[in-house]
Homo-oligomer: A and B are copies of this chain.
Amino acid sequence: MKNYVRDKRMAFGMTQDELSEKLDVSRQTIISLEKGKYNPSINLAFKLSRLFTCTIEDLFIYEEEEKDV
């Protein structure tokens, strides 16, 4: 799962701290998200897409996830 959170955030001229406050999550969450440490919950994905006025599909690229079987 790839995402454009960092790009969008910078396009909006926001710091990680500002973004985390607007979304009501911790700064750690933003850092980890941008670094691709894990995927956002669908709630966070919705919050981000609303803030950035785009769709979830625009912000997150689902790549036919490699199964770990």
Contact = CB atoms under 8 A, between A and B. Distances in A.
Q: How many copies does the complex hold?
A: 2
Contacts of A39: 41-43
A42 B57 contact: no
Contact count band on A: 10 to 19
A55 interface: yes
Interface string A32-43: 000000011111
Interface in A1-31: 1, 24
A56 B40 CA distance: 14
Closest 8 CB pairs of A and B: A46-B62, A56-B56, A42-B42, A42-B45, A39-B42, A55-B57, A40-B42, A43-B65
